Structure 1
Amino acid sequence: MSEPNSKPSRDSAATRSTAAKARRTAGKATAPASKAADKAAATSADTASKAKDAAKDTAGRTAGTAGQAVQTAARSVDAGRQAVVAASGQAAALARTAWTVISHRRLVAAGVGAGLTALSATSYAVGRRAGRCAHGPITRLTGGRI
């Protein structure tokens, strides 16, 4: 016989067996999908791990590249600084020379005048000597009268 339904909250035996069969059938039907989901989860976890490792490697390489870029920039700044120091030293030397010339302008003018005078006298003497004819000793002695 069947059980009395004294407890309405309790399921009947037929309901329980039908529910159990449905669970087994659902389990069998979803087993391949469940296995595939487990494989996909494992694969995605593996892929995530590989992506994490690749990100770490990329971050390390990026940090190394950034460090090299900073070092290169520092070297460039240092080279620029040295070029500015050298250029300012040359400008200072040029300014010092110009100031010396300006402060001693009278001596410079006198030296230039003396040099031009000596050059003119030398060129005049050389020109006069080159323009003379070759005379003998007696003609030279008498000044060209004989």
Structure 2
Amino acid sequence: MPPARVEQEPAAPSIASDDPRLPDASRPLVARMLSLIADIEARTQDDGLMVSALTEVRQMRDSHLPRLIASYADIPASHRAEIFRQTGRSASYNLNQGFEKMIARLETLSRSLAQEDLDSFADNLRFIDHRYGEDDPLR
């Protein structure tokens, strides 16, 4: 039985690294996250076995990321110091920590998706080395 096709989901609110609600230090993190999401989405698009990874990255992009940015932006700047009093870290620091956790998860997913390709490449290199290496009796 062929793997199930993954249906295209409707477009979500667009989040961009140049979102004016983001602190300057957050912009490269959001750009990295969106790049990883796009890469993972492209690599899993037609693979029915990767539905869970595709679902996870879309949920991150379409729900978790926008909600995190909105919750940060909704705090009036004059009250962000309360976050520091509660956590010992600034609101923007905590925001970036959230982004970094999401990036770490995306990097793990990306590495997992690449593992089969890495293994195949290593197998091919071993074959080439064995077949054409210095131990080749026909040389």
TM-score by length of structure 2 reads: 0.30
Higher helix residue share = 1
Which protein, 1 or 2, shows the higher relative CO under an 8 Å CA cutoff with sep ≥ 6?
2
TM-score by length of structure 1 reads: 0.29
